[in-house]
Amino acid sequence: MWEFLQDLNFWDWLALGTVLLILEVFGAGGYLLWVGLAALIVGGLTFLAPELPWTLQLPLFGVLAILTAVFWWRRQRGTGESGDQPNLNRRGHELIGRTFIVQQAIVEGRGKIKVGDSVWMAVGPDAPVGTSVRVTEQNGAVLSVEIVP
C-alpha cells in the first residue's frame, strides 16, 4: 500500500476522477461530480509538477473536493427567488394583491371569483356577485379575499 501511495502519478488521479464522473452519470445526484472534479484537478497538477509528493497530493485532493462542493452549494443556494420570475411554478402566488370580480356570491365565507378565463374558489367576507375583491393569500386552489372599499 505504501509503495502505491509513494508512486502516485497523474494517471492514477485521472483514472479516479474518470471513475467518479462515470458513477455520477448513473445517478449519484451531484455528490460525486465535485469529488471527481477535484481528482481531475489534482491529476492535472501532478502532470505539471510530477515531483509533488503524495503527502501533499492527498490533502490537496481533500481540500479541493470540499472547496468545489462548497462553491457549488453556495451558487445553488444563491439562485433562489432573486430571479426575474420569483413565482414561477407557484401557481396562484402571482394573484396575491390583485383585484378581481366575484363570479359566484360569497355566502357563509365561501364563493368563487373570476380570474382571467378561469374561476377560483374564494374564502372571505360575504359579498354579492359583481363585488370587487382583493386576493390576500393563496392556500392550494383556494384564494383568501377581502372586499375592496
Residues 6 and 73 both lie in one domain:
yes
Residue 110 domain-assigned (yes or no): yes
Q: What is the pLDDT of residues 103-122, one digit of tens each?
A: 999 999 999 999 988 899 99
User: For the chain, how many structural domains are there in total?
Assistant: 2
Residues 8 and 33 both lie in one domain:
yes
Residues 73 and 99 both lie in one domain:
no
Average pLDDT over residues 114-132: 92
Q: How confident is the model at residue 88 (pLDDT cuts 50, 70, 90)?
A: low
Residues 106 and 134 both lie in one domain:
yes
Task: Give yes or no for residue 2 having a pLDDT over 70.
Answer: no
Task: List phi, psi (to 5°) of 31.
Answer: -70, -40
Residue that finishes a domain, picked among 77, 106, 121: 77
% of the chain exceeding 90 in pLDDT: 48
- DSSP symbols for the chain: -HHHHHT--HHHHHHHHHHHHHHHHTT-TTHHHHHHHHHHHHHHHHHH-TT--HHHHHHHHHHHHHHHHHHHHHHHHTTSS-SS-TTTT-TTGGGTT-EEEEEEEEETTEEEEEETTEEEEEESS-B-TT-EEEEEEEETTEEEEEE--
What whole-number distance in Å separates Cα of residue 79 and Cα of residue 87? 13
What whole-number distance in Å separates Cα of residue 28 and Cα of residue 26? 6
Residue 52 domain-assigned (yes or no): yes
Residues 117 and 51 both lie in one domain:
no
pTM above 0.85, yes or no: no
Residues 106 and 64 both lie in one domain:
no
pLDDT at 109: 92
Q: How confident is the model at residue 80 (pLDDT cuts 50, 70, 90)?
A: low
Q: Which residue has the higher pLDDT, 143 or 82?
A: 143
Residue 124 domain-assigned (yes or no): yes
Residues 11 and 72 both lie in one domain:
yes
pLDDT at 100: 94
Residues 71 and 113 both lie in one domain:
no
For residue 24, give its domain range: 2-77
Handedness of CA 47, 50, 54, 60 (dihedral sign): negative
pLDDT at 48: 92
Residues 11 and 73 both lie in one domain:
yes
Residues 45 and 110 both lie in one domain:
no
Q: What is the pLDDT of residues 42-65, one digit of tens each?
A: 999 999 988 888 889 889 999 999
Residues 98 and 68 both lie in one domain:
no
Q: Which residue has the higher pLDDT, 79 or 48?
A: 48
Residues 73 and 118 both lie in one domain:
no
Cell numbers given for 53: 509528493
pLDDT at 44: 92
Residue 87 domain-assigned (yes or no): no
